[in-house]
Amino acid sequence: MHELSVTESLLEITLRHARAAHATQVNNLYLVLGQLSSIVDDSVQFYWDIVASGTIAEGARLNFRRIPTQMECLDCQQVFSPTADNFDCPNCASTRVKIIAGEEFYLEAIDIQ
């Protein structure tokens, strides 16, 4: 259910920027969503249709760009993409790794009239 509050924040940001640009309509939003993000794009779209109703963002299309997970080994500094069942470093088999990409969720661009 946290997608509702995320979507409400997304609308607030969108409307603030649209007003500053003297927009009359918001057509598209471009969102970046990391593979490990807990955000569910279908839920965001569902809530968007509800919270944007009656605003200049009503009917705007949400475009999601997915960012794959990237990890870095803390022992050998190898950067790699983990598999679904294995987060160990493929170079040295270390389990000491950190996530360097894949947790993102942000608004990249807004297309307005």
Q: What is the pLDDT of residues 16-28, one digit of tens each?
A: 999 999 999 999 9
Q: Determine the length of the chain.
A: 113
pLDDT, mean of residues 39-55 = 95
pLDDT, mean of residues 30-40 = 93
pTM: 0.83
Residues 21 and 15: their CA atoms lie apart, in Å, by 10
Q: What is the pLDDT of residues 56-100, one digit of tens each?
A: 999 999 999 999 999 999 999 999 999 988 999 999 999 999 999
For the chain, where are the alpha helices, taking DSSP H only? 2-20, 41-51
Q: List the chain domain ranges.
A: 2-112
Residues 6 and 38: their CA atoms lie apart, in Å, by 11
Q: Between 3.10.20.30, 3.40.50.10490, 3.30.2320.80, 3.90.320.10, what CATH number should domain 2-112 receive?
A: 3.30.2320.80
